């Protein structure tokens, strides 16, 4: 639990090993794994998907 005197970012920075924020590399790798799957699917199926974007509500 973070102390009331620290922001969430400051607390993570103090917990890090000196190479950035705690768990930053794991978070970046997870985001890449998920994002690359979505991007690969969109690129592979672009002919079908290019006209199927939803309008903002």
pLDDT band at 54 (very low <50, low <70, confident <90, very high): confident
Write down the domain spans for the chain: 23-57
pTM of the model: 0.52
Closest listed residue to residue 22, CA positions, set 35, 9, 5, 3? 9
What tokens does 20 get?
Answer: 């950035």
Give tens-digit pLDDT for 11-47: 777 777 666 666 778 889 999 999 999 999 999 999 9
Other Cβ atoms closer than 10 A to 2:
13
pLDDT of residue 17: 66
């Amino acid at each position: 639990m973070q102390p009331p005197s620290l922001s969430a970012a400051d607390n993570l920075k103090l917990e890090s090993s000196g190479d950035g924020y705690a768990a930053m590399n794991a978070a970046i790798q997870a985001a890449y794994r998920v994002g690359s799957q979505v991007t690969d699917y969109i690129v592979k199926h672009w002919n079908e998907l290019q006209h199927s974007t939803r309008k903002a509500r």
